[in-house]
Amino acid sequence: MGMKKSEKGSKKVMENKKNEKKDVGSAASNATMENDSVFASCSFSSLGLRPSLCDELREKLGFEVPTLVQAQAIPIILAGRHALINAATGTGKTVAYLAPLIHHLQNYDTCIQRSDGTFALVLVPTRELCLQVYEILQKLLHRFHWIVPGYVMGGENRSKEKARLRKGISILIATPGRLLDHLKNTSSFLYTKLRWIIFDEADRYGLHLLIIDPSEFDEDEVKYSSKIPIAVDYKIPTQLIQRYVKVPCGSRLAVLLSILKHLFERDTSQKVVVFFSTCDAVDFHHSLLSEFHFSTDPQTKERVIQMFLGCQTFRLHGNMEHEDRRSTFQAFKTEKSALLLSTDVSARGLDFPKVRCIIQYDSPGEATEYVHRVGRTARLGERGESLLFLQPVEIDYLQDLEKHGVSLAEYPLLKVLDNFTLHGHNKQVKKSVFIDLHPWVLCLQKALESFIISKPKMDELARKGFCSWVRAYTAHRGELKRIFMIKKLHLGHVAKSFALKQQPSLVGQSFQKQNKKRKRFEKKNGLSKKRKVARVT
């Protein structure tokens, strides 16, 4: 039975260095699969894993039975074959490759030793994913103390990593840059016995597949090369409720805040992730949500200082201090109710428990990224919802998603806005009202603008956020450039979405300065001259 194309969505590639015949295995398990279910109706031991490892899976991770993808992948990897694991997000791919690795290392005639160096390498695209995989590995290796897990990643202390590598790490998890660094500079890093390489989120590394002989292709016989890109076919968890909301540019901020308020009032104990296109945009919205007070009633205004959102708000992006990044990641994992504002650094592989809703406030660009972002919710059969913000001029993006089999229903925005009460207004507002003229939106927008203008630090964050947002918007490529066209946007409205009353000239100056700097850099390095950047004056 072949690994179904319709199950694609996220990838891990496992390469067995010893196996001469480079084949990518497909399902060879004797498990009876249950359609439309996440779990297989077989046991871990029936897949061929050693009993002590099955005990660890149960005792340390609480895994009683394998998921479908685990039931399909484990026997193939145990057989020593190459594997491309390509399944929907949140279906248990991590253990699908870790368990057979541990099994193999347990199986050596004489116990492996630290002085043997590294046997298996797991490459991951982000620091957070590195920590996540390491934590799982640590738990699974609890009783197999002679198999040593370890990680190297950007932001960590190099000397300490060198020392750990010198002692020996049997299964090494690494981010690519830091791994390269150690390969070049750490002479004591021993990898002569390296037998397995796992590329977690393989499509991210630009890994490619080449059919050995296309005429004989049967999904079982494929080989890695740099010629043909891995085909991507998306399957999103069926229980995920996917919606989009059409919002005029100038009202985006007020609508985002209103939807968040609605979500956290509807359910006070839940986790939500909002994706932004830039680090500056994350910083701006994080500060805003952490400080913004709002009252629609003049009477309570005098007496009660009310936070607009009553939930804990975290931020995560690549420009943060390493330790902040690390602690945020851990904190959001353990919180029962919280909001995380993030760039795409959180889009892939991260397994935050109990995330109920994903909001894509800034568009993800490629459909693949859409799938990864929404994959942070509705994991392992749990419920979840996602919401994609689109401006009216961007609505063609829905067709782009549909081409990949992803279709979204419209979010009932007016209904949600109508439910907010404003002092001095009737609760019921005409159904046909435009979003940007809705009394609640107008009132909130006014309060946001007053708030920003009264706080110089916020004002500065808003300007920076605006600038980087425009730059990111101009960076769309290929087909998407036709949909996300900066020329179609009113930059004054974009400024409004950062609660800036006007598009200030300062923004233009700093933007132009950066633009000139970038052009100089591109000229010096012989990079493309064609890239268009919006003029902001």
Please tell me whether residue 363 adopts helix, strand or coil conformation: coil
Q: Contact 197/174 with Cβ under 8 angstroms?
A: no
Give me the DSSP letters along 335-357.
-SSEEEEE-GGGTSS---TTEEE
Site string for ligand ATP, 43-82 (x = CB under 6 A): --------------------x--xx--x------------
Nearest to 252 by CA among 16, 473, 30: 473
250 binds ligand ATP, rule: CB under 6 A: no
We find the least distance from the C-beta atom of residue 304 to ligand ATP, in angstroms, to be 40
* 137 Ramachandran zone, left/alpha/beta (phi>0; psi -120 to 50): alpha
Question: Sheet of 208-211: strands edge to edge?
Answer: 222-225, 208-211, 228-229
16, 29, 86, 89: residue in contact with ligand ATP (rule CB under 6 A): 89
Contacts of 303-308 with C-beta under 8 Å, sequence gap 24+, read 308/257, 308/261
Return the number of the residue (88 or 500) whose C-beta is nearest ligand ATP. 88
Q: Which of 3, 7, 8, 10 binds ligand ATP (CB under 6 A)?
A: 10
Residues 473 and 378: beta-carbon distance below 8 Å: no
Q: How far is the CB of 478 from ligand ATP (least distance, A)?
A: 24
86 binds ligand ATP (CB under 6 A): no
Distance CA 208, CA 206 (A): 6
Q: How many helices (H) and strands (E) does the chain have?
A: 18, 17
Residue from the set 90, 149, 150, 384 that interacts with ligand ATP by CB under 6 A: 90
d(CA 393, CA 5): 33
- Which of residues 82, 93, 164, 261 is near ligand ATP by CB under 6 A? 93
Return the structure tokens found at 93.
């791919």
Q: Which is nearer to ligand ATP, 125 or 250 (CB)?
A: 125
Question: Could you say whether residue 92 binds ligand ATP (CB under 6 A)?
Answer: yes
Residues linked to residue 419 through DSSP beta bridges, in sequence order: none
Smaller CB distance to ligand ATP: residue 204 or 496?
204
Among 161, 283, 335, 351, interactor with ligand ATP by CB under 6 A: 351
Nearer Cβ to ligand ATP (351/418): 351
Cβ proximity to ligand ATP: between 202 and 341 the closer is 202
- Closer to ligand ATP by Cβ: residue 93 or 271: 93
Residues that bind ligand ATP (CB under 6 A): 10, 63, 66-67, 70, 89-95, 349, 351, 375, 379-380
